[in-house]
Amino acid sequence: MFKGTEQKHRALVISAMGINQILAWGSSYYLPAVLAHPIADSTGWSYAWVVAGVSFGLLVAGLVVVRLGRIIDQYGGRPVLVSSSILMALGHLILAVAPNIQIYFLAWMALGIGMGAGLYDATFSTLGRLYGTSARSAITNLALWGGFASTVCWPFSAFLVENLGWRGTCLVYAGLHLCLTLPLYLFVVPKEAKSKDEAAAAPQAVNASPIRPLSHPAFVFVLLSIILMIGGTVSVMWSFHLIGILQSRGLELAVAVGLGALVGPAQVGSRVVERIAGNRYHPIWTLSAAVFLITTGLALLWMGIPVPALALISYGAGNGIWSVARGTLPLALFGASGYAVLMGRLAMPSLIAQSMAPMLGALLMEDFGGTGMLAVMTGMGLLNVCGVLGLWLATRSSHGDNPTYPRS
């Protein structure tokens, strides 16, 4: 009976955090996709500077995420998640009244700190502290919710812009963060006692393999950090420039948008598969499948296959489980103790690299066109394939008797 009550409470926590993830991603990372042109058109600010706002936000998020991880590790995730709602609301209020580009960037500073405190890195860390090594299914479920962010918020943002303008849209998002996401974090996410190492005593899943010490933990950390940095950079370049890439291949705008819409369902579909079957194997299999599918999708699009939808579906499926792997693999390799701090340290170089990715993609598009940009991205994908192979070699000796992990 107690176990059933506990499971219901866990489902409530994940559902509340999932709703908030949709709004957090949709009102920050995905916001310029809909608002950038209306902002530039109505203010006269350069479109490049408008888009640079989210780059600045990602940079700020990268600079604060390690500190936020330490706070989560010591005090639990609720204070950080609560602050994310307040900062997101503040950022949107400043956006709504921004009279010049300087205040616009100030708004993105607030949003950037809110992104560091409220997107996947912080929420995965919170789940790791709450549920210890049994958090894998919770992380997968939360990523499944997050997969609907663009699907929900792009049409919603477009509707708001059409009826209220971009400033009114920002005011609506500020209200939603104050009236919806803030109460959900305050009243649903459990408050945890202050503890420097409480996560080490967190319960393990019944069928989870015990955490074994890694033979070369520093090397594994650095290699995993590089893999996540490359993957994050590719993801941002893809998100910002996909439509332009498809148009450079001779496709009409409507066709390019229609094809791009395939990525979202593919992401959600792959996360459903991971949710159903994920507990049967080690998360390194998830990461391996993710980098293989992403690189395959990039390579197929670069080679100009007659049916580009196959490339987009492959990429989308890989990107869907990529988000899951970057939360579950560090937990499986390093354990629950200090997981929030570890996630912050892994996220920092990735977020800083992601902040530069839109400009890098624009330069590649300008100098080499869509084909050249895809060639570079495919090469980055291949680097990650090699990196994952190295990760297998570096970690398999620590898990040689685990039937779900590769044996020597």
Examine the domain organization and report whether 83 and 166 are in the same domain. yes
Range of the domain at 60: 7-189
Domain membership of residue 20 (yes or no) is yes
Examine the domain organization and report whether 253 and 173 are in the same domain. no
Examine the domain organization and report whether 228 and 158 are in the same domain. no
Cβ neighbours for 4, distance < 8 A, ≥ 6 positions apart: none
Examine the domain organization and report whether 171 and 229 are in the same domain. no
- Tens of pLDDT along the chain (408 residues)? 445 566 668 889 999 999 999 999 999 988 887 888 899 899 999 888 888 898 899 999 999 999 999 999 888 889 999 999 999 999 999 999 999 999 999 999 999 999 999 998 899 999 988 888 788 888 888 988 888 887 788 888 888 998 999 999 999 999 999 999 999 999 999 887 665 554 443 433 333 344 455 667 888 999 999 999 999 999 888 887 887 788 887 878 677 777 877 887 888 889 888 888 877 888 999 999 999 999 999 999 999 888 888 999 999 999 989 988 988 899 888 888 888 889 889 989 999 998 888 888 878 887 888 888 899 999 999 999 999 999 998 887 555 545 445 443
Examine the domain organization and report whether 11 and 96 are in the same domain. yes
**pTM for this model (two decimals):** 0.82
Examine the domain organization and report whether 175 and 227 are in the same domain. no
Domain membership of residue 406 (yes or no) is no
**What pLDDT, on a 0 to 100 scale, did the predictor assign at position 98?**
96
Q: Domain boundary at 169, 189, 209, which?
A: 189
Closest CA to 61 of 122, 131, 11: 122
Closest CA to 291 of 228, 351, 221: 228
Domain membership of residue 198 (yes or no) is no
Domain membership of residue 68 (yes or no) is yes
Examine the domain organization and report whether 247 and 143 are in the same domain. no
**What pLDDT, on a 0 to 100 scale, did the predictor assign at position 85?**
96
Q: What CA–CA distances, in Å, run from 397 to 213, 335, 392, 403?
A: 10, 17, 9, 13
What tokens were used for 76? 């639990």
Examine the domain organization and report whether 141 and 258 are in the same domain. no
Domain membership of residue 130 (yes or no) is yes
Angle among Cα 112, 103, 84 to the nearest 5 degrees reads 25
What tokens were used for 204? 């393990």
Domain membership of residue 15 (yes or no) is yes
**What pLDDT, on a 0 to 100 scale, did the predictor assign at position 201?**
38
Angle among Cα 93, 242, 251 to the nearest 5 degrees reads 125
Q: Name the amino acid, one letter, at 10.
A: R
**What pLDDT, on a 0 to 100 scale, did the predictor assign at position 401?**
44
**What pLDDT, on a 0 to 100 scale, did the predictor assign at position 230?**
95
Give the Cα separation of 141 and 279 in Å (integer).
12
**What pLDDT, on a 0 to 100 scale, did the predictor assign at position 1?**
41
Domain membership of residue 346 (yes or no) is yes
Examine the domain organization and report whether 151 and 279 are in the same domain. no
Closest CA to 246 of 132, 160, 365: 365
Give the Cα separation of 242 and 238 in Å (integer).
5
**What pLDDT, on a 0 to 100 scale, did the predictor assign at position 388?**
94
Examine the domain organization and report whether 250 and 108 are in the same domain. no
- Here the CATH number for the domain that contains residue 281 is 1.20.1250.20
Total count of domains within the chain? 2
Examine the domain organization and report whether 294 and 359 are in the same domain. yes
Domain membership of residue 206 (yes or no) is no
Secondary structure class of 196 (helix, strand, coil) = coil
Give the Cα separation of 55 and 61 in Å (integer).
10
Examine the domain organization and report whether 185 and 224 are in the same domain. no
Give the Cα separation of 34 and 36 in Å (integer).
6
Q: Domain boundary at 142, 174, 189, which?
A: 189
Alpha helices in 249-338 (DSSP H): 253-260, 263-277, 283-302, 308-334
Q: Domain boundary at 152, 174, 189, which?
A: 189
